[in-house]
Amino acid sequence: MTTIDTHVGATTKANGSSFIAAVGQWVTSSDHKKIGRLFIGWSLIHAIEVAVLGAIFGFERMSPSGLELIAGDAALQLSWYSRHLMILGLLAPLFLGIAIAVVPLQVGSRAISLPRLAQFSFWSWLFGSGLVLISIIGNGGPGGGNGDMVDLFLMGVALVAVGIIAGSVSVATTVMTSRAPGMSMDMVPAFSWSALVGSITSILSLPVAIGTLIYLYADHTAGQVAFGSNKEIEKWLGWVYAQPMSFVFIVMALGVLAEIAPVAARVRQPLRPVVLIGLGLATSGVLGAVTQSSHTLNLDGSSSDKISSTLPFLLFNGLPLLGVLVSVAVALLALKEGRPRVNAAFAFAVLGSLMILAGVAGSFVQHIESANIVTTSFGEGVTAYLVYGSVLCALGALTHWAPKLWGVVLDDKKVLGLAGLGLIGTVLAALPLYIAGFSKQPAHAVFGFDYDGPVALWNLLAGAGAALVALVVLAFVGLLVQAVRAGAGATDDPWDAHTLEWSVPSPAPLNNFAALATVHSSEPLLDAKPSQEVPA
């Protein structure tokens, strides 16, 4: 089925070149490429903010008594704010923005479905993010001393969730209803497929979070009878910012690798059905998310107790790990079968996916009860691997699709160097927290703890790694801005790619396609290059 709105964005053209007209165009535009870039820009700001907070926490933890970088009363609130930024302020909106910008081009649509809903999704998310920040500044949030600001925190998180749901509905509807003629669901490009399954799982899981927020808000304003005080928010809402809920938002990062790897290898996607299944399995963490609980493996007790523990553990933790393994393995298989050319986009995608794999594997280990690390900093290391690894994949996606979004090709050598630094930063930010977790460093505690071992060393490395990630993101943004200002024009298809978005000019025009071609495979642009020998 194909639905096309040929007039989307036409009413948002600015008359003249004044600053006010330009701002008005961005504020009111329903062009999916502009909405996507708004999401991407603000998410990258949050990425720098997250990494800076991670560096501050790492340096503060170097001394058990604290270096007094953070006041004692603010530690819990800033820790919560960092967790919120990682998942709902960075991970979810960053890939939602990339999906909103790219998916309509990939599936051959002239516009995104429900464009005003996509526009609403950004402003709801941005306004909610602002409320969360204001609540933290005003001594609110979990553990805050101002009750009104605590309520504002809950309201802000709910608006953020509403925005992500709205954008997910728009993306999923586009894939299901606005495909080019002849493009069946099994021909949908790998990234668009990951955007579809990721959006659907967001739609299924985030309403559960909103329901929890409504209960918490009502109880907090009515006497705190059923759900406890503001310090009890962790008990009821903590699952939103932990595993396996975070698996819902990493699938698009894996989709970036699945999209870029065959192009880099100059080969058609091998085992395409397996790739699509792997991406779907990675989102099976939604099953654990909607139950609002973690399912651990307990090997003590009777045989029936072991079985009753093992089955849900494998379902909620094993399936996502299997999905990530399959996605990464098939991408590496593409390199083996083709003639690979390693560029910056591919380097970012493969290194980021390997970091995600380290995070999902760590989550698997974390939920083995005998490891006794559930309440330690090991879980923070898992989140760091997942979030920073996903950021690397996102930078790969932006490098790959920069010609369509901004009309430029980034300096490959400089960006390739940033990919290597990003890998080092991610490993330093996450691996020491794994080690400290086995030494029983408590999760989300900033000071007031001690254990046998080099406390200062592990946390110094973690802080330095986070700082390096912040510098990598900042440098990438600088390279992108420099390229855009220089106006270096990109060709229509600089990567010799396979999918429909590379058949239109760079940057992509307002209505994407002048005419829609009938699609006969998952690599329609490659089909139009008969002179090129590409392995099957």
Write out pLDDT tens, residues 351-360: 999 999 999 9
Task: Indicate whether 420 belongs to any domain.
Answer: yes
Within a domain: 536: no
Q: Name the residue among 399, 205, 382 with its Cα closest to residue 284.
A: 205
**Cis peptide bond N-terminal to 507, omega within 30:** yes
Which residues make Cβ contacts (< 8 Å) with residue 465, sequence separation at least 6? 54, 58, 424, 425, 426, 427, 428, 429, 430, 432
Core vs surface per residue 146-178: b (16+ CB within 10 A) or e:
eeebbbbbbbbbbbbbbbbbbbbbbbbbbbbeb
Q: How confident is the model at residue 417 (pLDDT cuts 50, 70, 90)?
A: very high
Q: Alpha carbon of 513 to those of 109, 193, 203, 477, 510: distances in Å?
A: 7, 21, 29, 29, 9
Burial class of residue 429 in the structure, from the number of CB atoms within 10 Å of its CB (0-12 exposed, 13-18 middle, 19+ buried): buried
Distance CA 353, CA 92 (A): 16
Confidence of residue 12 (pLDDT cuts 50, 70, 90): very low
- pLDDT tens for each residue of 259-275: 999 999 888 888 888 99
Q: Is 297 helix (H, G, I), strand (E, B) or coil?
A: strand
Cα–Cα distance list, 198 to 83, 123, 175, 462, 524 (Å): 20, 21, 12, 30, 24
Average pLDDT over every residue of 181-205: 93
Which span out of 141-150, 379-388, 512-521 was modeled with the highest average pLDDT? 379-388
Across residues 29-52, what is the average pLDDT?
A: 94
Q: How far apart are CA 88 and CA 70, in angstroms?
A: 23
User: What is the reported pLDDT for 9?
Assistant: 41
Q: Which amino acid is at 285?
A: G
Average pLDDT (272-293) is 81
In a domain, 154, yes or no: yes
Using pLDDT thresholds of 50, 70 and 90, give the confidence band for residue 402: very high
pLDDT of 504 over the 70 cut = yes
Inside any domain, residue 11: no
Largest CA distance in the chain: 76
Q: Of 56-65, 163-172, 326-335, which has the strongest mean pLDDT?
A: 163-172
Q: Chain-wide mean pLDDT for the chain?
A: 87
Cis peptide before 244 (omega within 30 of 0): yes
pLDDT at 519 over 70: yes
Residue 536 confidence (pLDDT)? 43
Residue 491 CB coordination number (10 Å): 11
In degrees, rounded to 5, the angle at the alpha carbon of residue 101 between the alpha carbons of residues 98 and 113 is 120
Lowest-confidence pick of 381-395, 466-480, 487-501: 487-501
Q: Does 10 map to a domain?
A: no
What are residue 442's DSSP bridge partners? 376
Residue 453 burial by Cβ neighbours in a 10 Å radius (0-12, 13-18, 19+): middle
Residues 195-217: pLDDT tens digits?
999 999 999 989 999 998 998 88
**Considering only 43-47, 81-85, 241-245, which range has the smallest mean pLDDT?**
241-245
Closest Cα to residue 428, out of 372, 456, 379, 466?
466
Domain carrying residue 99: 29-527
112 pLDDT tier (thresholds 50, 70, 90): very high
Long-range contacts of 417-421 (CB under 8 A, 24+ apart): 418/344, 418/348, 418/472, 418/475, 418/476, 418/479, 419/344, 419/347, 419/348, 419/351, 419/392, 419/395, 420/347, 420/351, 421/468, 421/471, 421/472
Q: Is the pLDDT of residue 6 over 50?
A: no
Q: pLDDT grade, residue 43 (50/70/90)?
A: very high
Q: Does residue 3 fall inside a structural domain?
A: no
Residue 165 inside a domain? The answer is: yes
The more confident residue out of 49 and 230 is 49
Rounded CA separation 377/78 (Å): 16
CA–centroid distance for 477 within its chain: 17
**How many Cα atoms sit within 13 Å of 253 on the Cβ side?**
35
Q: Is the pLDDT of residue 488 over 90?
A: no
Compute the average pLDDT of residues 234-243. Answer: 84
pLDDT by residue (tens digit) across 361-378? 999 998 888 888 888 999
Nearest-angstrom CA–CA distance, 88 and 53: 16
Over range 148-161, report the average pLDDT: 92
Average pLDDT over residues 323-344: 86
**Does pLDDT of 293 surpass 80?**
no
CB 33, CB 407: distance < 8 Å = no
- DSSP states of 346-383 as a string? HHHHHHHHHHHHHHHHHHHHHTBGGG--TTBTHHHHHH
Is the residue at 428 inside a domain? yes
CA angle 215, 216, 219 (to 5 degrees): 85
pLDDT-based confidence at 535, cuts 50/70/90?
very low
Give the CATH number, domain containing residue 131: 1.20.210.10
- What total of structural domains would you count in the chain? 1
Q: pLDDT confidence of 527, banded at 50, 70, 90? A: confident
47-72: average pLDDT: 83
Mean predicted confidence (pLDDT) in 239-248: 86
CA dist., res. 39 & res. 45, Å (int): 10
**pLDDT tens-digit profile of 210-237?**
998 998 888 877 776 666 667 778 788 8
Q: Give the pLDDT score at 226.
A: 64
| Average pLDDT for 108-129 | 94
pLDDT of residue 466: 97
Higher pLDDT, 26 or 86: 86
Q: Which two tokens stand for residue 282?
A: 């990675």
Taking the alpha carbons at both ends of the chain, their separation in whole angstroms is 28
Give the Cα separation of 311 and 202 in Å (integer). 24
